[in-house]
Amino acid sequence: MAALAVGVTLPAVAQAAVPPPLDPQKVQDQQDMTFQDYKPIPGVDWATNGAVPSVRKVTIALVAFDFEDQPFVITQKKNSDPFGNPQIDPVKREDVPKFYADFYNTPSPLNQGHTINGYWMEQSGGRVGVTDVKTYGPYRMPKRLYQYGVSDIGQSGKPTGNGCPAATTVVGAHTATQTITVEDSAFFYVGDVIQFGAVTPTGNKTVTAIPDSTHITVSVPITVAAGTAVQDCNFSSNQFNQDATALWNADTGCAATNCGQTVHLYMYAGYDETSVWQEFGEIMFQNKEQIPHEVWGNPNPKKPNWVATRYVDWTSWFAGQQQWGESSIRQGESSGTITHEISHNIFSVGDNNNNPYVTPYRRVGSGTWDMMDRGSFNGPGGPHNRWQVPALYGGSMGAEHTLRSKVGMGFVPNSAVLRLNRNGLAQTGLAVADVVARAANAEPLPAGIRAGVQVFLDGAAPVDKTPACNINTDPLCDGGTWTNYSLETVQRIGYGSFGADQGVLIAKNKAWAAGATRGTEGSSCGYNCFTWVKDAHPEDMNTVDYYKPDGTPIMRTAADYRQLNDALFHAGTNSGSSYELKDEPNDLQFYVVDTYKDARGLLHYVLGVQNPKGAGPQTRGVSVASQPGTALESCTFKVTNTGVAAATDPALHPQDETASFNNDIYRLSASASGQGWKAELRNALATAKFGESVDVPVYITKGTGASNTVTLTATSVSDPSKTATATCASTQTDGTVGGNVPATLALSLGAPASFGAFQPGVARDYFADTKATVTSTAGDALLSVSDASSVNTGHLVNGSFSLPQPLQARARNASNTGTAYNNVGSSLNLLTWDKPTSSEEVSLDFKQTIGLNDPLRTGAYTKTLTFTLSTTNP
């Protein structure tokens, strides 16, 4: 509802409007993204256009496996498993391989029309694609899921909370006998392959019988000491891959050759642990001691209910028993990162990611901007929405590859890149390039357009002159040893749609030459890394990551990959970012000179690179002249490059780039002399070729003086002694013009919010949201919500039943993104404004907690809420 008390008239103010920033930084957090944020690449849809890869056709053998204790999630009733999956109606077990083959590589409403073939065709400009997915299975694994999962990647060697249910010890010494006394035989089974801590003869043994609760019989007589550990989980080799290959080969006889396919994809029932360890560990439970045995704990009640995980010391046992995906390729049903693993497998590129969860914190390498970092988590909802099956949200739309990878993988030819040497720039002068969005930079490019820029740190070793720093004490330390810079244009289209911003990505890299089998990698960052994005905002983003069950906010660490959400550089003034980057130790300066979109709708940036140690052989010069106009609103000046071009040696750079040294870049400054007047520039940089000019508008904010003089000064960055100034002047006479604004308070709501299905017997927070649109001409406004019902006020109801936990709500807008949830009651204030707003989108968020023992009645729990927009200052 909206409350309007009186009508008012607001006088319109006559003033020349200063245009908005040329290139404002607009950062969108991953958790706020939806499917609607996807924007196609203009003029091409690689997933559906039928294009055939011109260089490499990748084919996949998809082989599906399940376990005695873990059926395929997708075969179960919708929302029925402990994680709240699957998200769709069940699929028959025999249809699982084809379901996932289609989900990954056949455009459909379920996958939003996106395929792995579409990804690779987009990244490679049509050179590489996934043309066939053959299916095999399903096969039943000979062991239980936990036997493969509780000692998986990053878990072995950590305190595991005795995560192996069957882990026990031998009671009494045994000599040359097959029946062994143990403390507990309950979790062994006939056919189980087990391992003794020390045994004669050595090697694994097979359980052939279980006579009672304290005895097992093994396949051969053994001699073993009292107190020897025995278990069936923690084997040193990766038994899943071995067992899976054996099953596939027994059926087909061709596993060793991937049955004629380029690669195999082992799709296993259950979850990729990366997608569940945090959501169903430290986010769901206050601490490891509060993990309940039922559902989430170790099936052996004598064991702890937690288990170690890859990045931190504990998660729930049920989440921690899941396997990690890997480059072999092996993936769980929740994994949307198949393109990440394919990158490992067919291009031999490593990970570029850190461990953001433990100290010492070390900043992430390339974050959301790179498939080989946690850009593989990109997609609607971001990293905390990767647990769904099938993988429809976070992780389903992984990031683009960086320029370094695209060059190394052979997607972008050297000829499409402006390739420069640092020391060469001191002799040739600065270079300027027009760089197109990387979403299309692997396609054939028009003359004069570049896919990106690379600047090689040539000279005496060590080529990276950055002062030494300590990665163990400084989270922002890059560790040194970089060999080149790259610059590329990021646009939120295609698989770049789920990046956090669009702008210029500047990064330091380790070498990966075109056509090389693998680029240089190393652990100089404190983890395997090869790209280090330069951050336009290195300060901590100071943003909540999640809330503990008791409501304690947990902040994103200094090493969280989302710290780079605002890393991109932008053109112009007042963008919220920076338009230049200085690397003084390495004698380099980078400029974001200008930006535009071409007729196709692709984003371009005009970029400059300079070595300040040398201006090159060219004669530098500049002139500035005023154009006809009025200093009451704006003045336009013509800035002319009066310098003279000169020949440069092509051998000074990796390839002939002489056409890129025909510009100069100018720093611009403007001022207004009239009393109270202001002169503003949308862009503090301009560039022109030798003998050519560029128009520079200066925008005016009215003052009290009757006359005004505007001055523009342009200074060459190559030779700061070359500077020029011009002025324009006007006088003014005041007139009156006005209009009326009627008093307005308007509130409209979107579709009803739905939590989906509540799951009995599972402690969990459910979230739902809808949108509201707010218009207010008042001096202040308050948005509130109330439950006008007298029946169980503030609680969802189902007939005569109500949920024990109160309904909570919050509202967010662009200025208030971190508001907290509070209980809905007779009235709850959600959001305030201290000035007018028009058609402002507000997110209305709801949270419903379901306790472990909360009784849930079949049917729909609902409540009609009243939203009110009111004011005290109409």
Q: Mind spelling out the 3-state secondary structure of 45-110?
A: CCCCCCCCCCCEEEEEEEEEEEECCECCHHHCCCCCCCCCCCCCCCCCHHHHHHHHHHHHHCCCCC
* pLDDT given at position 852: 87
Per-residue confidence band for 6, with pLDDT thresholds at 50, 70 and 90: very low
* Amino acid sitting at position 339: T
| Coil, helix or strand at residue 610 | strand
pLDDT in tens, 734-756: 567 778 889 999 999 999 999 98
- Angle between helix 96-105 and 116-124 (nearest 10): 30
Mean pLDDT of all residues in 426-449: 98
CA pair distance 612, 718, nearest whole angstrom:
7
**Topology alike, domains 618-731 and 745-870:** yes
Mean pLDDT of all residues in 650-678: 95
Burial of 864 (0-12, 13-18, 19+ CB in 10 A): exposed
pLDDT in tens, 475-525: 999 999 999 999 999 999 999 999 999 999 999 999 999 878 889 999 999
pLDDT in tens, 542-554: 999 999 999 999 9
Mean pLDDT of all residues in 250-264: 94
Mean pLDDT of all residues in 139-168: 84
Q: Please tell me the class of the 745-870 domain.
A: mainly beta
Q: What is the DSSP string of 160-180?
A: -SS--TT-EEB-S-EEEEEEE
* pLDDT given at position 629: 59
CA pair distance 501, 489, nearest whole angstrom:
11
Mean pLDDT of all residues in 395-409: 96
Contact between residue 458 and residue 421 where contact means Cβ atoms under 8 Å apart: yes
Q: Mind spelling out the 3-state secondary structure of 372-422?
A: CCHHHHCCCCHHHHCCCCCCCCCCCCCCCCCHHHHHHCCCCCHHHEEEEEH
Contact between residue 268 and residue 332 where contact means Cβ atoms under 8 Å apart: yes
With b for 16 or more beta-carbon neighbours within 10 A and e for fewer, the 531-551 pattern comes to bbbbbbbeeebebebbeeeee
For the beta carbon of residue 634, count every other beta carbon within 10 angstroms: 19
Torsions phi, psi for 410 (to 5 deg): 85, 15
Which of 161-170, 229-238, 822-831 shows the lowest per-residue confidence on average (mean pLDDT)? 229-238
- The CATH number that domain 618-731 falls under is 2.60.40.10
Contact between residue 780 and residue 871 where contact means Cβ atoms under 8 Å apart: yes
pLDDT in tens, 18-70: 789 999 999 999 999 999 999 999 999 999 999 999 999 999 999 999 999 99
For the beta carbon of residue 13, count every other beta carbon within 10 angstroms: 8
pLDDT greater at residue 736 or residue 439: 439
pLDDT in tens, 704-724: 776 778 999 999 999 999 999
CA pair distance 771, 612, nearest whole angstrom:
51
Tokens of 211: 């006579």
* pLDDT given at position 156: 67
Tokens of 367: 């974050």
* pLDDT given at position 509: 97
Mean pLDDT of all residues in 569-593: 98
Residues of the chain above pLDDT 90, percent: 83
* pLDDT given at position 730: 66
Q: What is the DSSP string of 844-866?
A: EEEEEEE-TT----SS--B---E
Domains of the chain by residue range: 33-163+236-347, 166-232, 408-597, 618-731, 745-870
Q: What is the mean pLDDT of the chain?
A: 92
Per-residue confidence band for 731, with pLDDT thresholds at 50, 70 and 90: low
pLDDT greater at residue 303 or residue 826: 303
- Which of 1.10.600, 2.60.40, 1.10.1660, 2.40.30 would CATH assign to domain 166-232? 2.40.30
Query: Would you give the DSSP letter of residue 256?
Result: G
pLDDT greater at residue 874 or residue 306: 306
CA pair distance 317, 163, nearest whole angstrom:
7
| Coil, helix or strand at residue 270 | coil
pLDDT in tens, 327-346: 889 999 998 778 999 999 99
Checking if the pLDDT of 11 tops 90, the result is no
What distance, in Å, lies between the first and last C-alpha atoms of the chain? 16
Contact between residue 494 and residue 466 where contact means Cβ atoms under 8 Å apart: no
CA pair distance 483, 529, nearest whole angstrom:
13
Query: Among candidates 624, 629, 790, 623, which has minimal Cα distance to 699?
Result: 629
Mean pLDDT of all residues in 265-274: 96
CA pair distance 161, 150, nearest whole angstrom:
10
Contact between residue 323 and residue 152 where contact means Cβ atoms under 8 Å apart: yes
Which of 142-156, 188-202, 555-569 shows the lowest per-residue confidence on average (mean pLDDT)? 142-156
CA pair distance 194, 218, nearest whole angstrom:
9
Checking if the pLDDT of 5 tops 50, the result is no
